[in-house]
């Protein structure tokens, strides 16, 4: 009888242990499933960031695939790639024969210099009419993107101001511009911002060409040069 009781106790303990382990497995997420879910979430996040960052394509920086994605004829794409960099959006505008340019410019553009572009030319920007073109011109000279946001933010909401920044830029003074304003230049990221600052003070544009030319080819150097200036030049 004592042996039977002992066996019964052992059996009960084993059964309880098995039940506890089963419940624990049910409560613990499958490691593979969790990892796969995380990978899917991260991929989705990257895609979203890429889409947001892409915005309006800068024609001077676009790849051939980017231009093909806009549905441009192959001969137009070939001409664009051959003539880059365009130093003025109006040069590109004259070249394009598309009758629906406003729709096209919602997807591709070359940012306009806020301090030198003619008031009438601002109206090439989708959604910018006589009144807003006048406001763009009214607050010259712009010394920073922050100033542009402040002044134009009096007339439109923040989202619309950010949309405008796909189409315009504020040229920067090489020796005094803040890191924020340099990074706001079209196609100038963190690394190039560092290089801009690294060689300060610049004594001439020739020095700028020499130093920055170590990192980019001649065409890109021409594009970057139109974004900057020196006070004494």
How many structural domains are present in the chain?
Answer: 1
pLDDT tens over the chain, length 233 residues: 444 444 444 444 444 444 444 444 444 444 334 444 433 343 333 232 323 334 899 999 999 999 999 999 999 999 999 999 999 999 999 999 866 899 999 999 999 999 999 999 999 999 999 999 999 999 999 999 999 999 999 999 999 999 999 999 999 999 999 999 999 999 999 999 999 999 999 999 999 999 999 999 999 999 999 999 999 75
Q: Is position 101 within any domain?
A: yes
Domain annotation covers residue 230: no
pLDDT of 233: 57
DSSP per residue, 97-145: --S-HHHHHTTEE-PEETTTS-GGGGGGSTT--HHHHHHHHHTPSP--H
φ, ψ for residue 145, nearest 5 deg: -65, -35
Identify whether 80 is part of a domain.
Answer: yes
Model pLDDT, residue 186: 96
pTM: 0.75
**Domain extent at residue 100:** 43-110
Does 48 reside within a domain?
yes
Residue 193 lies in a domain: no
- Distance in angstroms (rounded) separating the CA atoms of residues 2 and 136: 98
Residue 161 lies in a domain: no
Answer whether residue 180 is part of any domain: no
| pLDDT, position 100 | 85
């Amino acid at each position: 009888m004592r042996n039977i009781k002992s066996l019964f106790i052992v059996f009960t303990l084993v059964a309880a242990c098995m039940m506890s382990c089963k419940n624990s497995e049910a409560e613990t997420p499958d490691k593979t499933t969790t990892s796969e879910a995380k990978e899917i979430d991260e991929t989705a996040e990257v895609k979203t960031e890429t889409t947001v960052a892409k915005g309006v394509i800068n024609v001077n920086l676009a790849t051939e695939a980017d231009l093909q994605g806009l549905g441009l004829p192959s001969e137009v794409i070939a001409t664009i790639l051959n003539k880059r960099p365009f130093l003025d959006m109006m040069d590109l505008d004259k070249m394009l024969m598309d009758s629906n340019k406003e729709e096209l410019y919602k997807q591709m553009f070359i940012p306009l210099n806020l301090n030198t572009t003619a008031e009438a030319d601002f109206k090439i920007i989708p959604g910018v009419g006589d009144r807003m073109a006048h406001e763009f011109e009214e607050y010259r000279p712009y010394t920073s993107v922050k100033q542009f946001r402040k002044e134009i933010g009096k007339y439109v909401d923040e989202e619309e101001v950010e949309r405008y920044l796909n189409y315009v830029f504020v040229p920067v003074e090489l020796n005094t511009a803040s890191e924020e304003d340099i990074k706001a230049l079209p196609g100038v990221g963190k690394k190039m911002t560092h290089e801009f600052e690294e060689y300060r003070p610049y004594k001439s544009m020739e020095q700028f060409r020499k130093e920055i030319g170590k990192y980019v080819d001649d065409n890109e150097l021409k594009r970057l040069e139109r974004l900057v200036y020196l006070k004494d030049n």
